[in-house]
Amino acid sequence: MLSKGQNVPLPDDVDRIDVVIGWTESEIEVDASALLLGADRRVGSDADFIFYNQPESTDGSVRFLGTSATEEGAQARIAIDLSAVPDSVHTVALAGSVGVGTFGDLGKLALRVVDAAGLSLAEYVTADATMESAFVFGEIYRRGGAWKVRAVGQGWESGLAGLAKDFGVDVDDAEPETGCTEPDSAPASEPDPAAPVEPVAAEPDGQPQQAPASGARASGQGRGVRTAKRALKKAKPLEFRLAELDTWQPARLFSVVGVGAGEEQERRATSALIGTMQAVRPFARAVCARMGAPVGAFEGYVEVQYERGESKVIPDAVLKVSRGSRVWTGLLEVKTGNGKLKRDQLESYLDVARKKKYDAVVSLSNDVPASPGELPVEVDRRKLAKVALRHLSWAEVAHEARMLLSHGGIDNELQAWILGEFLRYLDHPRSGATEFVDMGRHWVAVRDSVTAGTLRAGDQKALTVADTWVSLSRHLALRLTAELGVTVKHILPRRHRSDPAARNAAVAERLAADGTFEAVLRIPDTAGDLVVIADVRTNKVRCRTVLDAPNEGSSGRRMSWLLRQLEDAPGDVQVEAVFSERGNEACEHLATVRANPKVLTDGRSGAIVSFSLEQTFPMGNRRAGTAASFISSVTSATDAFYGSVVQPLRGWVPAAPKQPEQVQSEAAASTE
């Protein structure tokens, strides 16, 4: 862990790194950016400013990969190929910016540098920000032929444009002339490759903690870069209106008729995915960002054969993304249904990718890693020195499709229809692209041991099931994120976010002690977290939320405030009132409280300070499937409790302070 001003060297054998900017305390979106600086600590040209509107450097060495949701909150990611950074670049400044609000609203901010396998190489956490809307977290810089990481922590109140200008970028955020429109297929975040740029003169190396003053650009510079974001647009779905009867069904673009299992299922799913990515560019960009690929023109090829010694290696697909003169290449291995990824197969692809100087090997299966960056299969880390290994779940692919369809990003009706057809295909059981339906082969044994009271925390089977539970928790957050259009976080203790072994041990210990799993989901703009507890001993799923009571008025008025918001909630919801006097609580079912609101307040001393709402659902105990399964029961309970209890609730907002004249008038009226 670095403190402000400290530095640490990067390992000599690491060429590819990802820089991750993370935040946890707010739903304000942070955008990552990078500036390639020369010895004078200024950009050589506008092309050296890498951000959402200009997502890749000219040589492809630095790439903005976008933002995504994680259990830690949300993160923005930048990929850097250290071996490809030009010699003229001495420093890569790593920054973040917000379009709304300030960094002071975000609480703790984290900068992490990770290698190709997701292993943390350096981390800097700060909570010093106040009114800044742009922030340089740190920098990657050369010293003596080696690369180092330094924690900086310097902010700007002038936003991303102000930060960029201070490092020599020519910013032009003037409104574009009317009458100029872009074609539907043009990616909104790609820069104009024809925009001219000019270098600036070099000066002696400056101090990394101090930003350079703004300077004049060379004449004839061109229009500069635009830091303002384009607004997302949402296409209307295609409508089919000529059917004579309601029973007529339109033809499906991706048919499930005749789909078998195994290889046939994998080939169908792979072809549907690649075809959709080629037709729907926003979807391709979203999926490619999760793979570590740049923004650019996407192409995919299936069943390509490679020679490896005397044998042949045939990945499910070869992925190509071109931007300018650079082409990013990845090999894709796909599994559907219960198919499991194999170490020897992935390692053979890594060998081919290294020999061909490809960028990555990507695995895609129904395995949902418990945390972003985790791999479902461990491989020889020496094979990751030159090639990145990334994993995607079908749940994440479906998540990206739903987000684009439901919450903007596609303004072309035909593209929206194609993506909708692809999502319909994934949702069909025959596709094999299930989101999360199997607790694993140890589930039954662990479940029975919990019931019998014989489970011990150190049991390897319990640790495996614990890991699956955390994956299920992440799946719940992904589902709600796609459905609601906001980033839903699976909250984990900080010490467990980067230590899967400790996390799984803690989950297994609780399971052995009291027979329960627990997941905490934080949903923006709700009054409290949604807590899901699966009690294996009682075969019940309990969902709970806690919210603060109003801090004014009598306990009766505070109870009335709650009941008004729960007008449509089920009567079997348990309502617990917690009073200011320590150890003083009262609990009844909502139906009882509705009939007699005083049942929770009569005879109680002190004022109500908080409410706890809990609902119990039956728990399925089967390992997999869609009916009577453990996963289905947890998922349906979460959805039901959110919709009927959590969604209607709003936190207490006190009335605005009253002017003295009004207070006196109201007091006089009350005495009349």
516-522/530-535 β-pairing = antiparallel
Q: Residue 667: pLDDT band by 50, 70, 90 thresholds?
A: low
pLDDT at 220 over 50: no
Q: What is the CATH code of the structural domain delimited by 7-166?
A: 2.60.60.30
- What is the spatial distance between Cα 189 and Cα 575, in angstroms, rounded to a whole number? 48
Where are the domains positioned within the chain?
7-166, 263-431, 443-646
DSSP string computed for 404-442: HHHHSSB--HHHHHHHHHHHHHHHSGGG---SS-B--TT
User: Sorting pLDDT into bands at 50, 70 and 90, what band is 259?
Assistant: confident
* pLDDT above 90: percentage of residues in the chain: 35
In angstroms, the CA 199 to CA 174 distance is 23
Which tokens belong to 408?
């903007």
Look up residue 110 and give its two tokens.
């984290």
Task: Give the mean model confidence (pLDDT) for residues 260-284.
Answer: 90
Which residues on neighbouring strands pair with residue 109, listed in sequence order? 23, 126
Closest CA to 286 of 387, 187, 165, 412: 187
**581: helix, strand or coil:** coil
In this model, does residue 578 exceed pLDDT 60? yes
Residue 474 three-state SS: helix
Between 3.30.70, 3.30.230, 1.10.3470, 3.40.1350, what CATH number should domain 263-431 receive? 3.40.1350
Q: Which range, 204-218, 315-329, 658-672, is most confident?
A: 315-329
What pLDDT is recorded for position 563? 93
> In this predicted model, what pLDDT tens digit does every residue of 22-42 receive, in sequence order?
765 545 677 888 999 999 999
Q: Is the pLDDT of residue 553 over 50?
A: yes
Residue with tokens 């709970």: 544
Most confident of the following: 160-169, 316-325, 406-415, 540-549:
540-549
Query: What is the spatial distance between Cα 320 and Cα 294, in angstroms, rounded to a whole number?
Result: 10
Pick 21 or 609 by higher pLDDT: 609
* Tokens representing residue 628 in the block: 């009577």
Per-residue pLDDT of 454-469, as tens digits, reads: 999 899 999 999 988 9
Measure the CA–CA gap between 96 and 134, rounded to whole angstroms. Answer: 6
Per-residue pLDDT tens digits for 392-408: 888 889 888 888 887 66
Mean pLDDT score across all residues of the chain: 82
Which among 21, 17, 49 is positioned nearest to 36, based on CA atoms?
Answer: 49
Report the pLDDT value the prediction gives residue 665, as an integer from 0 to 100. Answer: 67
pLDDT, position 263? 84
Q: Are 512 and 536 in contact (CB under 8 A)?
A: no
The position carrying tokens 């996407």 is: 298
Nearest to 574 by CA among 553, 596, 589: 589
Please, which residues have CB within 8 angstroms of residue 458's CB and are 6 or more apart in sequence? 508
- First-to-last alpha carbon distance for the chain, in angstroms, is 66
Q: What six digits make up the tokens of 219? A: 């004449």
Round to whole Å and give the CA distance between 298 and 328: 10
The pLDDT of residue 277: 95
pLDDT of residue 495: 79
Tokens 């740049």 belong to: 294
Residue 386 to residues 82, 116, 149, 315, 355, Cα–Cα distance (Å)? 11, 8, 20, 19, 10
Q: Which of 128-132, 198-202, 213-217, 384-388 has the lowest mean pLDDT?
A: 198-202
Asked if the model's pLDDT at residue 540 lies above 70, the reply is yes
pLDDT above 70 covers what percent of the chain? 83
Q: CA 73, CA 1: separation in Å to the nearest integer? A: 19
User: Which residue has better confidence, 16 or 187?
Assistant: 16
Structure confidence at residue 393 (pLDDT): 87
Q: Which residue has the higher pLDDT, 624 or 527?
A: 527
Task: Say if pTM beats, i.e. exceeds, 0.75.
Answer: no
What is the per-residue pLDDT for 494? 75
Question: What is the Cα Rg of the chain in Å?
Answer: 27
Q: How many CA atoms lie within 13 A of 12 on its CB side?
A: 2
Region 628-634 average pLDDT? 88
Q: What are phi and psi of 545, to 5 degrees?
A: -145, 150
Query: Can you tell me the mean pLDDT for 74-103?
Result: 85
**pLDDT single digits (tens) 177-186:** 443 333 333 3
